Amino acid sequence: MDRRKRQILDILSDSEYYTAEDLAGQICIGTKTIRNLLKEINQEIEPYGASILSKYGVGYYLNVSDKEKFSSFIQELSTRHSDKYLPDTSEERIQYLLEYLFNSPSYVKLDELSDSLYISKRTLTADLKEVEQYLNKFNIKIIRKPNYGIKLEGGEFEARLCIASFSGKRLHKGNQSMDEIAACVSDVLKKNDFLIPGAAYQNLVVHLYIAISRIMECHYVPMPEEPLKNFNGRYEYQIAKEIAKQIESTFHISFPETEIVYIAIHLAGKKMIYHSDEADQNIIINQEISDLVTVMLERVYDLFKFDFRSDLELRMLLCQHLVPLSVRIKYDMDLKNPLLRDVKEKFCLSYTMACNAVTVINEHFHILLSEDEIAYFAFAFAFALERKKTEIEKKNILLVCSSGRGSAKLLQYKYQNSFKEYINDITACDVGSIYKVDFSKYDYIFTTVPITVPVPLPILEVQYFLDDKDIVNVKKVLTSDRASSVRNYYEREMFLPHLKLQTKEEVLRCMCQFVMEKKNLPKEFYESVLKRERLAKTAFGNMVAMPHVYKAISEETFVCVGILDEPVDWEGQKVRAVFLVSIANKDHTSEELQRFYQMTAAFLLSQKQIQELVRKQDYDAFIEAMSSIEAQIPKEV
């Protein structure tokens, strides 16, 4: 007896009359189906001392003539189906459908799906629409064929990324195979001193579990010639071979060459290289990455007027982070950040700087980086802001050239002069003499030629590290004893309650036009906000959006707060409160902007505060709440 029949039987067991319409409404199927099912149930239960009778104008009821016999039947039925799990909610059904479709080798008929899930075709269609939207993010499509049903179509690489996305957390719960995979990976990584962060490590284990499952079902990753060629000689490939060998021994399967490269790609995209001490693997920062970082720091300066452009430590941190990130971008891999909410709340200025900086990456690679990826960049900016409060530790640089002492001395002088606040000593070296160098004396290597021998330091491949126009002396940080005031940023005239607008575009146009008129700003302001909007997400979560200008335009820092009577769709999120932020076109102290962003973030992330804001839509209540938050922030952030 299937689930729908058992549901009907359960409803009728309370000795009440039910019409076909009543039963259909409770089980979400048609009345015709209900009548057919009632006939089938009647045939099944008659041998066990029960029957379903109907009374005209009243409905159906369960008549039990042999209670003992029928009770035994119900007991057996419950035991038989106790271990059969079926989803109840829409969210559970979407997860179920994703897993079911990925595991189906051929077409699946919708009638069979709705019957197996005990839901109507209408409910199934609604759930499949959600499934389709989810799959589209991974370039996987649902193919429909009349009289056959539906099936999935897409690349194997994309399929595994999708499976990991919807099943990652569930796989970690009490899964012995996952534990065995983790042991294999841990042994190899420890032996080779190959470091990856905790979240990335868990992600790698999930992908290996999925790879094993797919290989067992004869689903292999078809690897193009380029990655096969590029990864074959890389250090990550050697690690991948060792991991594959361990897994082959444990699970008794065979990893072909393409699957080993697949593991190597994941390793390259997850590698932790901030503190690399490998003796046989060079960290290459090419000119493309160096140029991207230069533009990123320029963009942060344009908006925030914080000058990190000659901060060598920050520059190298960003460059090193971009090395594995570029691999993740190339293969559409996303690295989750378990500290995302903490970063938004505690390092909001750093996070907002990172949001602005990554628009350069979004433009260059034609992508939209996730909030999780942005949060990793925020750590680097947080460190840089902290260093601005303390004495900067100068670095020792080894400059490697091909030949010619004259050109070497010229480059040496250029970098020493450009980064004199950050460089303690810079020494030139011929590439042929690099094997004689004591690397313990240096922090980084700048080179104009390829280095083929293993070195234990990060390498920056340079031609012209910075043009003259890019070289700006590090501005001294000015301290201020004046505590910021909420009203300095949130003025009464910039508070717009009860906005009756229907789209994100209408909201931005309305608020920007209002601000431009009140603050006497040029048309460039609106265009700058739209440009920034196109480059990165501004929906903050919690019914809030925080759009910015692309670059600083106004003479003062202010926020225009708009409260909507009805939510609008903002990049897939429902938004009721919009905080349009404009940073002053002047130099700032670290403390000044950090206080502003920290109190703002604390407010925006508070569900209670935002609910109060959209309910009351009152400026004085808003200022009181914001002032209360500011009072809890230490003077030194």
In a domain, 278, yes or no: no
Q: Are residue 260 and residue 364 in the same domain, yes or no?
A: no
Q: Is residue 281 part of a domain?
A: no
Look at residue 478 in the predicted model and tell me its pLDDT.
24
C-alpha 483/C-alpha 453 separation (Å) is 54
Q: What is the pLDDT of residue 560?
A: 96
The torsion angles phi and psi of 456, rounded to 5 degrees, stand at -90, 20
Q: What confidence category does residue 265 fall into, taking pLDDT thresholds of 50, 70 and 90?
A: confident
Considering the domain architecture, whether residues 266 and 317 belong to the same structural domain is answered as no
In this structure, what are the phi and psi dihedrals at residue 343, rounded to the nearest 5 degrees?
-65, -45
Choice among 15-24, 81-90, 284-293 with the minimum mean pLDDT? 81-90
Confidence of residue 497 (pLDDT cuts 50, 70, 90): very high
Q: What is the pLDDT of residue 480?
A: 34
Neighbour tally for 215: CB within 10 Å: 18
Q: Are residues 374 and 298 in the same domain?
A: yes
Please state whether beta strands 573-582 and 544-545 pair in parallel, antiparallel, or not at all (unpaired).
Answer: parallel
Q: Which residue has the higher pLDDT, 227 or 355?
A: 355
The answer to whether residue 574 sits within a structural domain is yes
Q: Do both 471 and 498 map to the same domain?
A: no
Q: 367 and 408: one domain?
A: yes
Are both 577 and 497 inside the same structural domain?
yes
Do 309 and 453 lie in one domain? The reply is yes
What CATH number is given to the structural domain containing 526?
Answer: 3.40.930.10
555-606: pLDDT as tens digits: 888 999 999 999 999 988 899 999 999 988 876 555 677 778 878 888 888 8
On whether both 459 and 332 belong to a single domain, the answer is yes
Q: End of a domain among 447, 476, 505? A: 476
The SS3 of residue 410 is helix
Neighbours of 495 (CB within 10 A): 18
458, 575: one domain: no
SS3 305: coil
For the chain, what percent of residues have pLDDT higher than 70? 86
257 and 309 inside one domain: no
CATH number reported for the structural domain that contains residue 113 in this entry: 1.10.10.10
What's the rounded Cα separation, in Å, for the pair 636 and 626? 18
Residue 315 lies in a domain: yes
Nearest alpha-carbon partner for 613 in 574, 566, 570, 576:
576
**Whole-angstrom Cα distance, residue 340 to residue 223?**
33
Q: Are residues 63 and 174 in the same domain?
A: no
Using CB atoms within 10 A of its CB, is residue 14 exposed (0-12), middle (13-18) or buried (19+)?
A: exposed
Hunting for tokens 């939209």 — which residue is that? 368
Q: What letter would DSSP give residue 94?
A: H
Closest CA to 209 of 152, 169, 257: 169
Q: Is the pTM higher than 0.75?
A: no
My answer on whether 311 and 414 are in the same domain is yes
Please identify, among 421, 455, 476, the residue that sits at the C-terminal boundary of a domain.
Answer: 476
Q: Please give the tally of structural domains in the chain.
A: 5
Specify if 568 maps to a domain: yes
User: What's the full length of the chain, in residues?
Assistant: 637
- Determine the residue type at 52: I
pLDDT of residue 339: 78
Report if residue 275 sits inside a domain.
Answer: no
Mean of all residue pLDDT scores within the chain: 82
Asked if residue 433 belongs to a domain, the reply is yes
Distant-in-sequence, close-in-space partners of 368: CB < 8 Å, separation ≥ 6: 362, 536, 537
Beta strands, E only, 168-271: none
**Residue 24 is part of which domain span?**
3-81
- 419 in a domain, yes or no? yes
Tokens 């021998």: give the residue: 453
Close Cβ partners of 550 (under 8 Å, ≥ 6 residues apart): 302, 303, 528, 529, 531, 532, 535
Query: Is residue 280 over pLDDT 50?
Result: no
- Among the candidates 116, 139, 154, a domain finishes at 154
Residue range 356-380, pLDDT digits in tens: 999 999 999 998 888 888 988 988 8
